[in-house]
């Protein structure tokens, strides 16, 4: 986050608070469509400072001060980037990730370790969420929409 951004000290916000902001929008994704739909429901159309193809690029531009974007809470960002994540009141979003393998491939020496790694990370993230949130946990679910500015 750019030092001194007016939202940096806030503990949360609402979508109507953001109508005058410049946005880094993501095209061609469910997240991009969701952001536009949420803004429309809040009574405004986001003014695009940039439109990109993926969340990682959006967060990079946000870190450089191009604007704000909305991303799920667990979206990774470069630890060296100065991005503040601020919860948006009234928005509850879940994303479920599914790992599919062909029947019998779960026993493959190449696939079994991947499956176990995914399960291990899921268990770890659920434990972390339980430690930091009173919300019920769901395996593979990601909660919350966060303003990244």
Residue with more model confidence, 35 or 8? 35
pLDDT bucket at 138, cuts 50 / 70 / 90: very low
Q: Calculate mean pLDDT across residues 103-129.
A: 87
Residue with more model confidence, 113 or 76? 113
> Is the pLDDT reported for residue 28 higher than 60?
yes
What is the reported pLDDT for 110?
Answer: 92
What is the reported pLDDT for 140?
Answer: 36
Among 67, 77, 91, 79, residue whose Cα is nearest residue 12? 91
Point out the least confidently predicted range of 3-17, 36-50, 57-71, 98-112.
3-17
> Is the pLDDT reported for residue 50 higher than 80?
yes
> Is the pLDDT reported for residue 15 higher than 70?
yes
Residue with more model confidence, 3 or 70? 70
Q: Calculate mean pLDDT across residues 74-103.
A: 78
- On average, the pLDDT of the chain sits at 80
CA–CA separation, 105 and 4 (whole Å): 52
Among 62, 96, 92, 88, residue whose Cα is nearest residue 77? 62
CA–CA separation, 8 and 2 (whole Å): 9
8 Å CB contact between 35 and 26: yes
Q: What pTM does this model have?
A: 0.67
What is the reported pLDDT for 132?
Answer: 61
């Amino acid at each position: 986050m750019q030092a001194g951004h007016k939202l940096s000290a806030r503990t949360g916000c609402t979508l109507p608070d953001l109508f005058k902001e410049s946005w880094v929008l993501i095209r061609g994704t469910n997240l991009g469509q969701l952001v536009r739909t949420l803004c429309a429901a809040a009574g405004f159309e986001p003014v695009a400072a940039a439109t990109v193809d993926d969340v990682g690029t959006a967060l990079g531009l946000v870190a450089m001060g191009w604007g704000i974007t909305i991303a799920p809470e667990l979206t990774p960002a470069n630890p060296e980037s100065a991005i503040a994540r601020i919860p948006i009141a009234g928005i509850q979003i879940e994303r479920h990730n599914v790992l599919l393998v062909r029947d019998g491939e779960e026993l493959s020496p190449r696939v079994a370790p991947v499956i176990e790694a995914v399960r291990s990370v899921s268990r770890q993230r659920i434990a972390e969420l339980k430690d930091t949130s009173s919300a019920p946990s769901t395996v593979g679910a990601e909660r919350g929409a966060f303003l990244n500015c």
